[in-house]
Structure 1
């Protein structure tokens, strides 16, 4: 470029980075490299922040040696996916924050496709496929009893935390990530609060990710069922209409109390009496803090809890 004085100067084009991709890992040595390789191959510039939940399997060395040189925050203990995402939120200084599991491998166009599709929405959920190519999720739907379930079609109630893009400022405005959930339902709870605040959430099936589902948490394990059942009830107490939350808590307690009286109790892992008793104890212990959170959520809500429930649950 030439100035009016005839001298020339060089103008450097600065590419604006809109997104920080946050990857949470725990004992991810067997798969974190594939995730970071895929992020390094993205066709959209971004920052990568890895939150290491005190891994003890060599993950820290792999992160330090990876050629992409991601920013790494190592927590002193395992805070779970929810706790690590909550910690990351305070460090993100880009307008957008992408959530990505460490056992996920995004296509090169994944992030750019999400950014381009976001529009005025608060969040966008990618398409997750299993390693064999079978679809796993394009987002989250709500069931009639308040469970979050994988959605395979549009529209979606919420985003799947395994691969999604969220507006950082809006996420903070609706209370951030519920760190105490540890694992599971932190994404559905966050999406519910976004809905209550009047925001839109999109499914973007063209943003594709291959996902080795449950590598760290082992779906079907006692830990999985404990977190799944506890956090569903906590989410309902925080976000659902009061009658729905009370109904589901009472139903869970009644089924638990009746289990010793049943001749042939269900064999599924989430019907173990000791597990359900622990879930009830944890929910009751957290009830005062949960009800305080419910009041805070109500203060920023612009759509009634009943309306959101009617809009997004099957009749």
Structure 2
């Protein structure tokens, strides 16, 4: 029998044809999520596998929000949160293994400071548990040209977790793999950008929140393990297209007037260098995806003008400490700075 009483926390897992992932990872979520304060919700994006049957048969305590279509990651969560009334929501990927007490430190920190809108735990690789996980590690940042990096992961270099990032710290973005957010704040700021469909939508939303004066933090006392790349292959041209297009849209939406022209000029060259690298390494479809991403960005740009104006109008924090005012590519390849500590030093 499901308890329909509103809990303080809703752990919302977005699923699309992920029956095997649900069977593997949902048991840890159920085991380590205290039912007295939290509900577990699976929002199903129109799956055509046996996900719904498995949920009903094997996980009867889980609340199901069924959709008849695949809304994608961004709009899928927006639609799901229309059904959520809890004070806090956790956006949790279906390929995340949680651990004992994983919610305790997160809720304690957000309860203690209303200026904190979002938080994430420390995220390690589920397949190589001594190392950080690519998508979130110990909290995310951006360089001036929109390149994301983390405490524990800079470009393709992933560090072993040796406690070097065990301090709670302010970050620019919390990973969508496990994002703890104030539900009403999520709704007030407009949620995730549905146009993004998937990839970097949480970075965009977090940047928006930070501009409006909210804080975001990584709380490493909470630990989860993420598989990563479970729904889209790392070398997928579609993933390349979404990453490049969405990153350009994010820059256009959030950069101040005194930065945007310079940044977009430099990105022109950086993007085509990336496309050339794809081509020379035998990935012509990925090279074309970069070109297509830039083409679609320019076709969408005018429709984002009003959104950009709104973001700039609502910006409170003019200078964001977590936005590195240097080129990550330059620091990494020319100066040999391969870790977060080296970058900030």
| TM-score, with structure 2 as normaliser | 0.78
1:130 aligns with 2:125: yes
**Equivalent residue for 2:305?**
291
**Equivalent residue for 2:214?**
199
**Equivalent residue for 1:161?**
176
**Equivalent residue for 1:313?**
324
1:282 aligns with 2:274: no
**Equivalent residue for 2:162?**
none
**Partners of 2:282 and 2:209 in 1: how far apart?**
33
Larger Rg: 1
1:217 maps to which of 229, 232, 239: 232
Offset at 1:292? Answer: 1.4
**Runs of 4+ in structure 1 over 6 Å off:** 256-260
**Partners of 2:64 and 2:309 in 1: how far apart?**
35
**Partners of 1:257 and 1:214 in 2: how far apart?**
25
93 and 287 in structure 1: CA distance in 2 versus 1, 3 angstrom threshold? same
**Partners of 1:78 and 1:157 in 2: how far apart?**
29
**Equivalent residue for 1:4?**
none
**Partners of 2:28 and 2:60 in 1: how far apart?**
10
**Partners of 2:282 and 2:216 in 1: how far apart?**
33
Offset at 1:283? Answer: 0.8
CA contact 1:39–1:108 (8 Å) conserved in 2: no
Tell me which moved more, 66-75 or 77-86.
66-75
The 3-state SS of whatever aligns with 1:122 is strand
**Equivalent residue for 2:7?**
17
269 and 88 in structure 1: CA distance in 2 versus 1, 3 angstrom threshold? farther
Offset at 1:34? Answer: 3.0
Superposed CA RMSD in Å reads 2.6
295 and 178 in structure 1: CA distance in 2 versus 1, 3 angstrom threshold? same
Offset at 1:172? Answer: 1.8
| TM-score, with structure 1 as normaliser | 0.85
**Equivalent residue for 1:49?**
41
**Partners of 1:264 and 1:187 in 2: how far apart?**
26
237 and 23 in structure 1: CA distance in 2 versus 1, 3 angstrom threshold? same
Residues 151-190 of structure 1 aligned to structure 2 (within 5 Å):
151-152=151-152, 153=165, 154-190=169-205
What count of residue pairs does the alignment treat as equivalent? 297
The 3-state SS of whatever aligns with 1:294 is helix
219 and 102 in structure 1: CA distance in 2 versus 1, 3 angstrom threshold? same
